[in-house]
Amino acid sequence: MAFKIFPLISFLFLIFILLAPSGHAKRSIPSGKKTSAFDFIKKLKGCHKGNTTKGIHELKAYLEKFGYLRYPNKTQATDDDFDDILESAIKTYQENYHIKPSGVMDDETISKMTTPRCGVPDIVNGTNYMQPRNRNHKSGSSGVHVVSHYSFFEGEPKWPPSKTHLTYRFLPNVPAVAMDPVARAFQKWQSSTHFTFARAQTDQNSDLVIGFYRGDHGDIDPFDGPGGTLAHAFAPTNGRFHYDADEQWSIGSVADAFDYETVALHEIGHLLGLRHSSVEAAIMYSEISAGQTKNLHEDDIAGIRDLYNL
């Protein structure tokens, strides 16, 4: 089965494609207009259980996409009823993003939900990867228990012990200007792990493949135009990492643009086996604002060291 090749998230991506409302299939071309794929959420300001506001079905699709809900009933999934299931999904979202879990679409929730983010879901099949779990860290000789926030994919897929040197290549659709920032991101992971990375030529085989896409691109989650979802990547050992070509990309911090290197650092984390962290300063936090740059954080390093027993 082809699905076996792509760890679990492909399955969810496929579900999403089947359930996606038509709004998500809409293509937009960068026009300098500052609209974002998540802007529809702003219209839902103040909504709470019992409301039947136009656009609530889009919020349901958004929360379904990132794993927060799944309606057994197709009618409920596509109507504008703010029901119990939606309220409970919003509360879970609020807990994950450190907002008071009121179940109401308050300002803070709207601000978080409209922030551009990675396409990898926060919850899969009911497993909330952003909830802290107690891990048994060995900190010095004290052996204290520390609550950590990094997470792994289901079944903890990782590169085998023999595979510490990984090659990567750029598909021909990647702009040349993106290549140095991506190389710097690999360098940063190399300095903090046992991995070494080297670039392969475009026509050679490689462990990792970086591409640039807009909208639908085959068997996985479609991109959504400017803003919204910025990039996504697969768990080991799939190796694919895709940028959304509809974004305004930049080298370093530029207003209204997203930093190639920061997003590459995040997506490489997925390629190595990390999922999202609820630590806002961590590179594996799901969201990033335009103009923001970030580096690896101790939570990211602790995660990769734990996964590979470093």
Interface residues with ligand NAG (CB under 6 A)? Answer: 8, 11, 46-47, 50-51, 53, 73, 75-76, 125
- Only one residue has tokens 């659709």, namely 173
Residue type, 111: S
Q: Any contact of residue 282 with Zn ion (CB under 5 A)?
A: no
- In the chain the first and final C-alpha atoms are separated, in Å, by 33
* Least distance CB 103 / ligand NAG (angstroms): 13
Spatial neighbors of 116 by CB under 8 A, at least 6 apart, are 36, 38, 227, 228, 229, 230, 247, 258, 287, 288, 289, 290
Residue 46 interacts, among Zn ion, ligand NAG, none and using kind-specific CB cut-offs from 5 to 8 Å, with ligand NAG
Residue 125 interacts, among ligand NAG, Zn ion, none and using kind-specific CB cut-offs from 5 to 8 Å, with ligand NAG
Torsion of CA 253, 122, 45, 248, to 10 degrees: 30
Residue 53 interacts, among Zn ion, ligand NAG, none and using kind-specific CB cut-offs from 5 to 8 Å, with ligand NAG
Residue 120 interacts, among Zn ion, ligand NAG, none and using kind-specific CB cut-offs from 5 to 8 Å, with Zn ion
Between 76 and 128, CB nearer to ligand NAG: 76
Per DSSP bridges, beta strands 123-124 and 133-135 are unpaired
Q: Which of 113, 120, 182, 290 binds Zn ion (CB under 5 A)?
A: 120
User: Rounded to whole angstroms, how far apart are CA atoms 179 and 116?
Assistant: 22
* Least distance CB 234 / Zn ion (angstroms): 11
What DSSP designation does 26 have? Answer: -
* Least distance CB 148 / ligand NAG (angstroms): 23
* Least distance CB 200 / Zn ion (angstroms): 24
Per DSSP bridges, beta strands 127-128 and 123-124 are antiparallel
For 250, list phi and psi in degrees, rounded to 5: -145, 165
108 labelled catalytic: no
Between 178 and 263, CB nearer to Zn ion: 263
Residue 190 interacts, among Zn ion, ligand NAG, none and using kind-specific CB cut-offs from 5 to 8 Å, with none
Catalytic residue among 267, 280, 287, 298: 267
User: Rounded to whole angstroms, how far apart are CA atoms 174 and 263?
Assistant: 14
User: Rounded to whole angstroms, how far apart are CA atoms 105 and 236?
Assistant: 36
* Least distance CB 1 / ligand NAG (angstroms): 13
Q: Any contact of residue 264 with Zn ion (CB under 5 A)?
A: no
Between 235 and 284, CB nearer to ligand NAG: 235
CA distances from 265 to 25, 157, 220, 306 (A): 28, 19, 21, 18
* Least distance CB 162 / ligand NAG (angstroms): 27
| Cβ-proximal residue to Zn ion, closest one | 118
Q: Which of 110, 113, 118, 166 binds Zn ion (CB under 5 A)?
A: 118
Is the dihedral angle over the CA atoms 56, 57, 59, 64 positive or is it negative?
positive
- Which residues form the catalytic set? 267
- For Zn ion, the binding residues (CB under 5 A) are 118, 120
